[in-house]
Structure formats: structure tokens, C-alpha cells
Amino acid sequence: MKKATTALFGFILCIVFIISCKTSGTEPDIPVYSYTEPIVNPPDVFNIVFNIAQYGDRIVEVTFEQDAVWKIEKLGDGKVNLYVASASNQISILSKDTIGLQSDSVYYVVVNNNNYTGFNNYFVGFTKVDLDYANFEPKL
């Protein structure tokens, strides 16, 4: 009985240790911006949260400090529509895409939930990619 108790106690300690290793310090702090305020000069990695509990477009303006290539991705259900637009063009993001975005231009990130109920907060991720903007296509 004593061996079984010691083995059970050791097993529980191992589980606690594994869980604490997986959750302590492994995830970087990624800033999260709301769609309700314009985003100006964000960091190299950031997320935008949209409240899509009701039908319709949710739009945020984003302006970047420098020309760069960005990976833009849906961090939620693929059924929600996502596109990025400039004053003259727009690109639809099906899952994730890489796009060249110009400095000092206003971009509109639009999330649309016209077809589904049950969603609340929806996240879109942005990550600056180490690619040469001048030679990259597509640009928006």
C-alpha cells in the first residue's frame, strides 16, 4: 500500500511539473488591440480583437510606421469573412496571407459575420515578415 501511495504521489508531481513547464513563460506577450480605436505604428507582432456577436462589418483603421511585409491570419473560425482594404483596393484573407503594406497609408481591416450566430470575440493576427518590401508582391 505504501509503494502504491508513493507511486501515485510521484505521478501527480510529474503531471504538475509538466503542466507548469508548458504554461510558464513559453508564450510571448502579444499586444491585443480593439477594433474600436485606430491602430497607429503597432509592434512587429500583434493581434486585433473584434466583437462579432452581431451581424455586420467591424472595421479598424491601421497605419504602419514603415513599409513592410506582413503575415495576416484568422485566429478563429474560418467561416468569418476577413479582408484588408486600402483607399483603392482590397484583399480577402481566406485563412492567412502575406501582403506588402506601405507606411503612412491607412488600411482598413474588416471582419464580417453576416452568416453565423454564436461568435463573440474574433482575433486577427499580424506578424511582420523578414522579406524585402520593394521586391515583394502582392502589395496593397
Give CA torsion, residues 19, 25, 26, 31, to 10 deg: 130
Write down the pLDDT at residue 24: 44
Write down the pLDDT at residue 120: 83
In this predicted structure, the answer to whether residue 112 has a pLDDT above a threshold of 60 is yes
CA 21, CA 131: separation in Å to the nearest integer?
33
Q: What is the pLDDT of residues 41-79, one digit of tens each?
A: 999 999 999 998 888 889 999 999 999 999 999 998 888
Under DSSP, the state recorded for 18 is H
Residue 75: how many CA atoms within 13 Å on its side-chain side? 15
The domains located in the chain, with CATH, are 32-129 (2.60.120.380)
Q: For the residues 97-123, what does the mean pLDDT come to?
A: 88
pTM of the model: 0.76
